Each structure stands twice: as structure tokens, then as C-alpha cells.
Amino acid sequence: MGIDQRYEILFEPVRIGPVTAPNRFYQVPHASGMTNALPRVRAAFREAKAEGGWGVICTGACSIDPSSDDAPLPFATMWDNNDIRAHALMTEAVHRHGSLAGVELWHGGASVMNRASRLPPLSPSGIPWMATHVGFMGNLRPKTMDRADIRDVLRWQAEGARKARTAGFDIVYVYAGMGYLGYEFLLPEYNHRTDEYGGSIENRVRFVREMIEVTKDAVGKDCGVALRVSLEELRGRPGANQPSEAHELIELLADVPDLFDVKMDSSPTDCSASRFTGEGSHEPVIDFVKSLTKKPVVGVGRFTSPDTMVSQIRRGVLDFIGGARPSIADPFLPNKIREGREDEIRECIGCNICISSWHDGVPVRCTQNPTAGEEWRRGWHPERVERAAKPERILIVGGGPAGLECALTLGRAGHEVTLADSGRAFGGRLTFERTLPGLAAWNRVVDYRLGRLNRMTNVSLYLESALGADEIIDLAPDRVILATGARWTKLLYSAMEIPVGRLDGPNVFTPDEIAAGRLPDGPTLVFDFDNYYMGGVLAEHLAAQGVPVSYATPAGRASAWTIMTNELPLVHRALSRRRVSVATLQVLKSFDGEAATLAHLFTGEESRVACRSVLIVGLRLPRNELHDALVARSDEISAAGIRGVDRIGDALAPGAIVHAVHSGHKFARELGAAAFQPYRRDTPIVDAAPDFETRTAAE
């Protein structure tokens, strides 16, 4: 197959100042959780995208000075020779495949707490970011920058740019977005200055202009210089001579950088989850930029459809198709379009598990792509699986995310695989969850895998095939893998913050009963201590069915863990739209059929909520009946020639869908290995002397 002529425009080269990108696929800067402490992990992660056809591959935020310190959140640094050598691993890997390498130089300003460096944060006017997320909270307030501080930051940016050039980068960024220092100069809420850096939009842009200018001077004619800027807030402010201050900013800087990388102002809108936002959601904010500059423009929108990509270019919205989450879900997305294999794209589902990785301080994870972050650690390639030396006949029981991924990976390895599921459709938990408000895109986990499995002659798929121990022994495969999932329980929650006790009764529900089609009668209390999406989305679901809903949780917020995936504000807005009342720091004590008794988690003070039904969204436990039955007949299992009975996914340890997919993939990759091999541990580059001078450029 070859490229569809409609998509040829996506593979045109585009100049970025003195350098040329080989195509329009641009992996914009994004967090990966891979700091300079993991240089080989980082290089391999980025190289996979270059191999997959992304024309530009960028780092995440890369600090230019210890006064920009995000610890314990992961961030990269460009401070010394060790850092140069660490980044060079990535640029060399990217260049091997003909792609350009970009570095997002960054100063966090008042948005960092400098926990490790213990230096005062810097701010245009001493205004801090006082976040409600405990991971971003701190007690050290920023210093108001004087002229010497401004000169220092400009010098650090120039020195970082020279180091970046030495490390082999082709594009060097100035960052003026997402609440960081350049952005703080642009917004009057942060910038109260009365000198030439404050007041009018022309003055507020001055610092960003100077950052670009010193960067261009530092890199000379060797590198392109990009400006990454957030436009959402400025787009909403009327301009003096243009429709908005965003228009005025672009007009003022139109000829200064070599490329504009345009984005939103906050994570919930910049990388909103698919549950709340569709593909191309940035366009209403950034659609004007190309009308005011002749420089190329890159933007994002969780693009996975090549038709949407082409539309963005032909309508003059973007020059480059930016990708962060889609490039993680499928590093080979560009090559698949170029080779006419669009149906093989592993489309991002927009769950934002990748973003939670950064909040957790670990290498990136992906629900769709279990190899993300494992390219160097475990040697997993996103498109290739090593062929098995001795193919086996393998039976997988359960066609949910873990079973499907395991079958796909085993099939690629050459095993003869039978996948049996008792239901009428493959997907396991997703057969129900995909029907819930906003979760339809999550079924891409199923669609992608079934699309590949249906082409494999060595994989057989069977629905409505409930298998017990007798049937499995009669089939006598070489190996049995159980992906039978988990069930929700009616366990309650104690002041010790662990599940304890049970609440039984005719009007006490779990999500499994909702999935089976049973609808609560009358006003319903959703008691959620699972803390991820399920409690909130089921409250929405019931309210949409006309059921009056109230919501209670022992956590401090509804669906509290969704703060890790940037969904929390949107969850609360969705519940408000559905008129769902929210009670936090509450424990469910009892239910008498007319009201539920709640107790404050810390004080024990009790209150009653009128309701006729209770839905408990709490603890899930594995469905182990089949496993236990097979283990009890181990002699018969051995006699049938079955060499092993193993569990994967929720049947082994319940978790999010990302954990199930990774579990299925990991088992398949490691099947037949001589011995357990833990992942490789990366080490920092320390060849250069550790006692470095932080403010001396590399050259």
C-alpha cells in the first residue's frame, strides 16, 4: 500500500528558520517523567517517535537554572556538561532517523516551589501561584524581580541555548505559557510592574521578545528558535488595536521567532481529556495566528484522524500537526499514514494516564501503548515483537483489555492463540464503560486490538463461550491464561482509610449491577472511595436517566484522583450541570431504605441524606472462581499437558485499564523467557566533573 493522495500534504518539508523539518508531524514538547537521571530511557522513548516518522521531536521542560526547580516533579535540566552529554543521547538517537530535535528551555518563575534548590522563586511582581493541588503547594513565596534578575534570566536563557546547540538540538524554545515565567510577564494578574516591562501589552511582551532575541544571538545560524505561548486568557481580553490581546501579542512578535507553538493556558484545557473535549478543541482560540505571521505555526488538538490534520493545514489553521498524547499512543502514526495503513493507527483515547505519570514522578505510561517508557528499560518496540523460539497453543479466557492485548502480542510472537469470552462482545469492562458519559473514545482500546486480531490466521476468537475447568482440561492447550477481570464489592470504608465491613440490602448497588441494566429506584446516594472516574461518571449517568443523585466521598474532592489526569475541575462542573450535590470527607455508616447516615472522616459528626438507594463505588476484587477451580485440579491439569495456569490484568490485581493492558503485554513478552529479568535501571551521565559552575556556558 502507498500513501493516499489526500494526505500527501502532511509529508511536505517545512522550514523553521535555518533548519527544515522533513514533514508536518511535530511532536511538541511534553512531559515524559524522564529526567536527566534517565537519559537512556529518554533517548529510546524519543527515538521510537523519530523511527515512526515524526519530523520534529522535542524534549519536555528543561530548566535553565536552579532557580527553576520543580522537584519532586520530574523535570530536565540544562545546567552543566553532564546535562549536555545526557541530552546528546537523545539528539543523536533522533538524528539517526532524519528528524529534528527540539529543546524546551524553561524557567518556571512563580509556578515552581524550588524545594530542592531552596532559592526564592522569581516573579515579575511577587505574585505567587497558590495552587489547590497539594503536589504544587508550597510556603515559599516568590521574589519580585529587579532589573538584575531580568538580566540574569536573559543570560541563563542564552547560556542554556548555547548548551543546547552543543548537545545537538536543531530547535531551541522560549517558553511563555502554562503559568511559567514568560507567561507571567504577559498577564496583568501576575505583572503589576510600572517600568518598561509592565502596563501596556507592548511593555508586557518586552521580556518575551528579549528572551527570543538572546536565544537567537546565542544559537546563531545553526538552530531555529521557537516561541511556545499560551493564548487562551489573552484571547478573551479586548485589544486596543486588535480584536484581542492575543492578536496584539502575535502582531508584535510576528517576525521575531522562527516558529510559533500555540497552546492553552492551563492543563485542563490545554490537554483536556476526551471525556470532556473532542479532537481539535484548540482551534477557536488559536485559529487567527497564521493570519498575523508568515512564520510556521504548530498547535495540538489530540489529532488522530489524517482528514482532520489535512483540514487544519488546508484551512490555514496550522502548518505543523502537533502531537503529544497521540505521539505517545502511536509513535508510528506518521509512517502508517504514509504507508496507507491508517486503519492500523493506535489512536489516543484521551484518558490522560500519560499526564498522571508526570504527577506521579515516573516515566510515562499509556493505556493504548504499553511499550511507552519501556523501549530501553525492557527492550520493547511499539511495532515489533520477537518471534517465539517454540510456539505454543495458548488459551486465553476473557476478552477484556488484558486478554485482548495478551492475545495480540502472543499472536505477533507466532503462538497459536484461542481467545474465548462468555459475553456477546469483546471488551470486558469496556462493553459497559464505553456507554457512559464521555467515555466512547475509550473503546479504541478494543477496536484497535480487534482490528489487528481479526487479520491473524494464528488467532481464533470465540464469543458466548463460557468455559469451566472441565472444558479447559478437555481442550488441553499448552498454557492457560485467565483474564477474567474483577468485580465491585459492597465493602464500606473506615476511619483507618481502608475498606471494612459490608452494606447489604435490596437497594444497595455496585457498578456491576448498573452495568447489568439494573437502575436504582428513586433518589440515590453514590458513595465513592474508588476516587477515579467511575463514581463521578456513574453519578452523571444516573442523573441523565432521571434519577436524583447525591454524591459522597471520604476524599476532599469528587473523583479526587482525577486531579492527576487534569479532569478534576471538569468533573465538578459536570456534576454541577447534572445537579448532583457533593459531600466530601464523608464515610457511609448505614442505610435504612429511606436515608443514609454519613459521618465526617475526621470528626465523626453524623448527618443523614434522604435516599432510597445507595451505589457503592469502592473496592474491586479479582474474579478467581475459575482460577481456584483449576488449581484444585492441578493433577488433571498436568495430565492434560497444560504447562501453566496464569492470571493477568484485573484477575491478577485490579487496576485502571492501563494496568490491565500493560499486564497482558508484559506476560506475553516474557512468555518462554529462561528466567525472570527485571527491567534495566538507568543511571545519570556523570562523566563530567560534578563540581560545575552553573552560570558558565558550555562554550
Q: Say which range, 49-58, 472-481, 592-601, 673-682, has the weakest mean pLDDT.
A: 673-682
Instruction: Identify whether residues 576 and 473 lie together within a single domain.
Output: no
Check pLDDT > 70 for residue 689.
no
Helix (H) / strand (E) element for 597: namely strand 595-600
Q: Tell which of 588, 605, 621 closes a domain.
A: 621
> Does residue 252 sit within a domain?
yes
In the structure, what pLDDT confidence band is assigned to residue 140 with cuts at 50, 70 and 90? Answer: very high
In the structure, what pLDDT confidence band is assigned to residue 691 with cuts at 50, 70 and 90? Answer: low
pLDDT of residue 306: 97
> Does residue 115 sit within a domain?
yes
CATH number, position 475: 3.40.50.720
pLDDT (tens digit per residue) in 202-216: 999 999 999 999 999
> Does residue 42 sit within a domain?
yes
Tell me the residue range of the domain where 532 lies.
488-621
> Does residue 677 sit within a domain?
no
Average pLDDT over the chain, rounded to an integer: 95
Check pLDDT > 70 for residue 695.
no
In total, the chain counts a number of residues equal to 699
Check pLDDT > 70 for residue 365.
yes
Residue 551: Cβ-neighbour burial (10 angstroms; 0-12, 13-18, 19+): buried
Check pLDDT > 90 for residue 487.
yes
pLDDT (tens digit per residue) in 26-73: 999 999 999 999 999 999 999 999 999 999 999 999 999 999 999 999
Report, as an integer, the average pLDDT of 421-448: 98
Check pLDDT > 70 for residue 114.
yes
Instruction: Identify whether residues 188 and 236 lie together within a single domain.
Output: yes
Give how many domains the chain has, as a whole number: 3
> Does residue 685 sit within a domain?
no
pLDDT (tens digit per residue) in 216-232: 999 999 899 999 999 99
Instruction: Identify whether residues 111 and 130 lie together within a single domain.
Output: yes
Check pLDDT > 90 for residue 268.
no
Instruction: Identify whether residues 336 and 443 lie together within a single domain.
Output: no
pLDDT of residue 137: 85
Q: Tell which of 621, 655, 681 closes a domain.
A: 621
Report, as an integer, the average pLDDT of 357-369: 95
> Does residue 300 sit within a domain?
yes
Q: Say which range, 393-397, 404-408, 574-578, 679-683, has the weakest mean pLDDT.
A: 679-683
Instruction: Identify whether residues 246 and 346 lie together within a single domain.
Output: yes
Please state, in angstroms and rounded to a whole number, the distance separating the CA atoms of residues 56 and 98: 9
pLDDT of residue 132: 87
CATH number, position 251: 3.20.20.70
Check pLDDT > 60 for residue 696.
no
Burial 415-431 (b: 16+ CB within 10 A, else e): bbbbbbbeeeebbbbbb
Instruction: Identify whether residues 457 and 492 lie together within a single domain.
Output: no
Report, as an integer, the average pLDDT of 595-611: 97
Check pLDDT > 60 for residue 473.
yes
Instruction: Identify whether residues 469 and 502 lie together within a single domain.
Output: no
Instruction: Identify whether residues 433 and 471 lie together within a single domain.
Output: yes
Question: How many CB atoms neighbour CB 1 within 10 A?
Answer: 9
pLDDT (tens digit per residue) in 555-579: 999 999 999 999 999 999 999 999 9
Cell numbers linked to 82: 553532564
Which residues, listed in sequence order, are joined to residue 508 by a DSSP beta bridge? 614
Instruction: Identify whether residues 637 and 497 lie together within a single domain.
Output: no
Instruction: Identify whether residues 497 and 630 lie together within a single domain.
Output: no
CATH number, position 586: 3.50.50.60
Greater model confidence, 171 or 687: 171
User: Percent of the chain scored above 70 by pLDDT?
Assistant: 98
Please state, in angstroms and rounded to a whole number, the distance separating the CA atoms of residues 291 and 541: 42
> Does residue 309 sit within a domain?
yes
Check pLDDT > 80 for residue 688.
no
Instruction: Identify whether residues 609 and 635 lie together within a single domain.
Output: no
Check pLDDT > 50 for residue 699.
no
Residues that are catalytic: 180
In the structure, what pLDDT confidence band is assigned to residue 697 with cuts at 50, 70 and 90? Answer: very low
pLDDT (tens digit per residue) in 74-91: 999 999 999 999 999 999
* Pairing assessment for the beta strands 586-591 and 595-600 based on DSSP bridges: antiparallel
pLDDT (tens digit per residue) in 520-554: 989 999 999 999 999 999 999 999 999 999 999 99
Three-class DSSP category at 100 = strand
Check pLDDT > 80 for residue 442.
yes
Check pLDDT > 70 for residue 173.
yes
Instruction: Identify whether residues 201 and 245 lie together within a single domain.
Output: yes
Give the contacts of 212 (CB within 8 A, at least 6 positions apart). 174, 225, 227, 253, 256, 257
Residue (of 481, 475, 429, 420) closest to 644 by Cα position: 481
Report, as an integer, the average pLDDT of 238-255: 97
> Does residue 369 sit within a domain?
no
Please state, in angstroms and rounded to a whole number, the distance separating the CA atoms of residues 17 and 239: 29
Report, as an integer, the average pLDDT of 288-298: 98
pLDDT (tens digit per residue) in 640-686: 999 999 999 999 999 999 999 999 999 999 998 766 678 999 999 98
Helix (H) / strand (E) element for 299: namely strand 297-299
